[in-house]
Copies of this chain bind each other. A is one copy, B any other.
Amino acid sequence: MAPKDELPLALRSAYLTLHRRSDAVFMEYGITADQFVLLATLARGQAMTQRELAARMPSDPSTVRAMLLLLEKLGLVSRAAHPTDARARTVSLTEAGVRTFQRAFEAGQEVRDQMVESFSPGEARTFLSLLKRMTQSLGERVTQVAVAVAEPSK
């Protein structure tokens, strides 16, 4: 069987394994692996709009909204009016959100270590590079469609 035909299932198994391990680790902090990703995204760039947040996750704006409602109820994020755009709302971590993220990040260290325990440093870099290139290749058509859709309007 060609590597190409095995890749999708191998990628899926890798991700699902990571996702389940992460869920198990983060459960102690009252959050899911996906919620952790949202917190991590906010931690890297505070006060972004919901659309920016969705684009970076990457996820759907209405999915992100559903997640934000849950996280707001947990007191981990807050939404405020955007300074210049009255349509938009900026999303931020609360103090509790920052603390929870930091603790969960530390607790996740074990999983991150275990991901690369069979890799040399060079292999880890290669793996990261290949993952990014694959994501870009696969995402390109989506961009083209978006461009094509946006085309008639110019």
Contacts and interface: CB of A to CB of B under 8 A. Distances in A.
Contact of A137 (B19, B108, B114, B131): B114
B131 A118 contact: no
* Copies per complex of this chain: 2
A151 interface: no
Interface in A9-48: 9-22, 24, 37, 40
B116 A127 contact: no
Interface of A: 3-22, 24, 37, 40, 58-59, 108, 111-119, 121, 123-128, 130-143
Given A3-B124, A115-B137, 19 more contacts: A3-B125, A4-B116, A4-B124, A5-B112, A6-B128, A8-B18, A8-B22, A9-B40, A11-B11, A12-B15, A13-B58, A14-B131, A17-B138, A17-B139, A21-B141, A114-B140, A118-B136, A119-B133, A127-B134
